[in-house]
Structure 1
Amino acid sequence: MVIIVLTTLSAIGPLATDMYIPAFPDVAAELGTTASRMQLTITAFFLGTASGQVVAGPLSDRMGRRVPLLIGITLCLLASIGCAVAPNVDALLVLRVLQGIGGGFGMVLGRAVLIDMTDGPELFRIMNIMQGVGGVAPIVAPLMGGIILLFGQWREVFVVISVMSLVSLLGVLFLIPESLPVSRRHSGGFRTFLRNCRTLLRRRIFVAYMLVNAFSAFALMAYVSASSFVVQEMLGFTSTEYSVSFAINSMGMMALSLLSARLTRTIHPRKLIRVGLIVVSLASFSLLIGSLFLDTPAWIVLPAFFFTVAPQGMIFGNGGALASDQAREFAGTGSAMLGLGFSFSASIAAPLVGIAGTHSSLPMAITMVVGCLISATFFVLAGRGSGGDTSRLPGAA
């Protein structure tokens, strides 16, 4: 049950980011606003999430995990209820910032609690599960939103997020103990946070694995941002056919996350990351070749999309766990830095893939290849710093 609660915490933020995107036209019509203002509600949530992660990590290193976690989930719950009854777009913007702050608390502190409570193979197993759900959440969120809209209106989307927040709040209250003893807490405010960040930035292995994840997210978000245009407008597929393809890719990522969680009991996580990076890189290069020389055929595009998305399940969880293993003495700050690196990299991928409009897959393919190459480069650098793959898992006794 503890794993379920922590996994739900890691998923609330990503789900709240994108779940109501299918309802944008309905929201704009009801609230009497423009499409650009609706896009600002996504930006507002990202700003809130970034702020929440920056605050939650160091605050929990000082106060412990439980109290900040309860504060963050309660804020997310109340803001989600507020979004469901928002009377105008200005109120929705403010509430989305607050919702993002609460979601950021949950994302960071869920990882921090896990790092406090587990070690060795168990850390890698649960981190794979959490990262798998967290990584697939922003991909399936629009699909979930679309299903909700079949039976209700846009406000019901926020009701669902409110229910998830309430379940998480009850789970933390009754199932999650305080995981950071007083002896391991750090006094100080923002200066302490900055000092801890500087300490972590001097740890080459932590930085390398953080950037492995960040640039894998860069490649993944290129797919998320542009795949609908490629599949529907360039290949001529229907929206239903695209949704099926999207769901298959997402389930592939989830399946490999769960498989990776099982394999880490006997296989070093670096070996799993290596396999994932090789497959993703080959898929991205095949998409680039298809875009440059073959007029983007479906027989290249669809398999390339699957093998770009699914192997991320072998990368995110293991990369996050290997980085977190380097930040145990201030896990909250380390978790915040991981989240910020992931979010920042993902957020800059979206505008890059739209450079050539909606009638070329080349910017998307280039962005994906660049992300894969940079991620692979930092993976190699991390291996040099840690001595490569070993039979002993980090943190194991």
Structure 2
Amino acid sequence: MTQTAPSPFDTAPPRPVDRRLLMICLLGALTAVAPLSIDMYLPALPALTSDLSTGAMQAQLTLTACVAGLAIGQVVAGPLSDAFGRRRPLLIGVAAYAVASLLCVAAPSVETLIALRLVQGAAGAAGIVVARAIVQDLYDGVAAAKFFAALMLVTGLAPILAPVIGGQLLNVMPWTGIFAVLTGIGVALFLGALLGLKETLPPGQRETGGTRATLRTFRALASDRPFAGYALTLGLSFATLFTYISGSPFVLQDIYDLSPQAFSVVFGVNSIGIVAVGQVSGMLAGRVPLRLLLATGHAIVVAGAVALVVVVLTGGGLYGVLPALFLVAAGQGLIGPNTTALALSGRPPRVAGSASAMLGVTQFAVGGAAAPLAGIAGPDTAVPMALSIAGAAMLAAVATAFALRSRRSAALVSD
């Protein structure tokens, strides 16, 4: 199955290295819709809270709404891409994302913004789920793990640059201007997909059974023990990361007195950790069993989460919190690509979109549900964030152990 699909680019045939680089850039940019939509306005959350006369939990619900939309949208876009090909659902979704982002600029209340963020996330989900399905069209097993790790090099730039850009934009415009920038990004992604991406799922390999076939596929995936375990791993790991994402603006700015600009630098450093560890994962894939790389990622995240709880409960300062948060973030670079590759390995192209969607809906649904927990006790304590991160990190490790116990998982990770 590896590299049997047609080239996704309609230019003259480039050299193999160039073609791979182009694909990494384009698919990585499409996958970056989620961190761009979430992270760019993280430094603006306190200003948004004040401007819309709302509370920290309501402001965090704008994040939850976007993540919920990202989950819902993948359930729709994934099966559609199996039935109609990858290109059309992708273009429709990215165009709708640009429109929804523009409407967020004029949101008059936090309730309206929450609703628009739900639509924005649902539309942007097409880029995420289709990009992952395209990788599965072209690669499998260790090759897919290497490619997913390479995507993190591009996708990882979004959480590094987004909060930095967001913090700087707040110096020259109100928080609504950030959504105007996201509108421009949506337009650029639409043009990139329109001009640079061809179909990777030929008509003969598409799912033709309609809604019944889609539901059967979802049922089969849900009852597949290793797949369900890996899906839970992604969801709980993202809950760990997203609790940090949603809680850290208030904890680091309101409790530890960081400026929006300093916060964006700290956030960027942690994102560099994700990217760097992801690249190490890609280099080691094929030489080190994927399950060992995955277990190492869990060990790093759990160590950081436990350290964070200890520091917060003992009244430790900023210089104890920052290294712990770095470990929590950096370990995701080992968890994400290897979990995704193991979950999708060996699945036929006609169900790759549905499988990708099920991974995505679990990831974003669990992550979105966890986000408000970081602010449940108000903006004056970091204890809920620390405990939520630790709980999700430990449960993610348990979910991976559940997946790896099956004979099929052992076979998949042995190459």
The answer, yes or no, to whether TM exceeds 0.5 is yes
Determine helix, strand or coil for the equivalent of 1:35.
coil
What residue identity is the alignment partner of 2:234? N
2:400 is aligned to 379
How far the C-alpha of 1:92 sits from its partner, in A, is: 5.8
Contact 1:135/1:316 (<8 A) preserved: no
Equivalent pairs, count = 389
1:83/1:155 contact within 8 Å kept: yes
Q: Give the structure 1 partner of residue 188 of structure 2.
A: 167
User: Which residue of structure 2 lines up, in the alignment, with residue 307 of structure 1?
Assistant: 327
SS at match of 1:323: helix
Q: How does 1:333-372 map to 2 (within 5 A)?
A: 333-372=354-393
- Mean CA deviation greater in 356-365 or 366-375: 356-365
Matched, 1:180 2:201: yes
| Percent identity over paired residues | 37
Aligned AA (1:58):
P
Give the AA of the match of 2:287.
Answer: T
Note closer, same or farther for the CA distance 1:337–1:87 as it changes in structure 2 (3 Å cut). Answer: closer
> Of the candidates 43, 54, 67, which is equivalent to residue 35 of structure 1?
54
The residue number in structure 2 matching 1:127 is 148
Q: What is the CA–CA distance in structure 2 between the aligned matches of 1:98 and 1:235, rounded to whole Å?
A: 34
TM-score by length of 2: 0.83
1:287 equivalent in structure 2: 308
Contact 1:206 / 1:326 at 8 angstroms: preserved in 2? no
- Corresponding residue to 1:80 among 91, 101, 109: 101
What secondary structure sits across from 2:208 in the alignment?
Answer: coil
1:306-325 matches, cutoff 5 A: 306-325=326-345
The reply on whether 1:194 has 2:194 as its aligned counterpart is no
Query: Whole-Å Cα distance in 2 between the matches of residues 381 and 366 of structure 1?
Result: 23
Please, which runs of 5 or more residues in structure 1 have no aligned partner? none
> Which residue identity is paired with 2:337?
G
Whole-angstrom distance in 2 between the partners of 1:165 and 1:298: 36
Q: Deviations 1:208-254 (Å, cap 9, x if unpaired)?
A: 11111111112122222333444444445555444332221111112
Relative to structure 1, is the Cα distance of residues 389 and 284 closer, same or farther in structure 2, using a 3 angstrom cutoff? farther
TM alignment of 1:32-111, pairs within 5 A: 33-35=52-54, 41-84=62-105, 86=106, 88=108, 95-111=116-132
My pick for the range that moved more, 152-161 or 295-304, is 152-161
Kept after mapping to 1: 8 A contact 2:156/2:271? no
Matched, 1:221 2:242: yes
Amino acid at match of 1:221: F
Does the CA contact (< 8 Å) of 1:136 and 1:253 recur in 2? no
Contact 1:231–1:237, Cα closer than 8 Å, also in 2: yes
Per-residue deviation at 1:8? 0.7
The TM-score, its normalising length taken from structure 1, stands at 0.86
Q: Structure 1 residues 156, 182: CA separation in 2 closer, same or farther (over 3 Å shift)? A: same
Going from structure 1 to structure 2, the CA distance change for 1:18 and 1:94 (only over 3 Å counts) comes to same
Distance (whole Å) between structure 1 residues aligned to residue 53 and residue 295 of structure 2: 45
Q: Do the aligned partners of 1:276 and 1:312 also contact (CA within 8 Å) in 2?
A: yes
Q: Which deviations, in whole Å up to 9, do the C-alpha atoms of 1:87-137 show, x marking residues without a partner?
A: 745876665444323201111111111111222333112212335654674
- The change in CA–CA distance for 1:361 and 1:321 in structure 2 (over 3 A counts) is same
CA contact (8 A) 2:167 2:261 kept: no
Q: After superposition, give the CA deviation of every residue in 1:325-359 in whole Å (9 maximum; x if it has no partner).
A: 25434011111111111111111222222233334
Counterpart secondary structure, 1:272: helix
- Structure 2: any 5+ residue segments left out of the alignment? 1-21
Pair 146,189 (structure 1): closer, same or farther in 2 beyond 3 Å: farther
Q: Which one of the candidate residues 35, 38, 41 is aligned to 1:17?
A: 38
- Partner of 2:171, secondary structure, is helix
The residue type equivalent to 1:343 in the other structure is F
Q: CA RMSD for the aligned pairs?
A: 3.0
Measure, in 2, the Cα distance between the counterparts of 1:39 and 1:223.
12
Deviations 1:39-72 (A, max 9, x none): 6654553443333211101111111111111111
Aligned match of 1:255: 276
Alpha-carbon shift at residue 207 of structure 1 (Å): 1.0
Distance 1:356 1:130 in 2: 37
2:353 corresponding residue in structure 1: 332
1:139–1:224: 8 Å Cα contact kept in structure 2?
no
C-alpha deviations, 1:139-168, integer Å up to 9, x for none? 753332222233444454234323322332
**Which amino acid letter does the alignment assign opposite residue 330 of structure 2?**
A
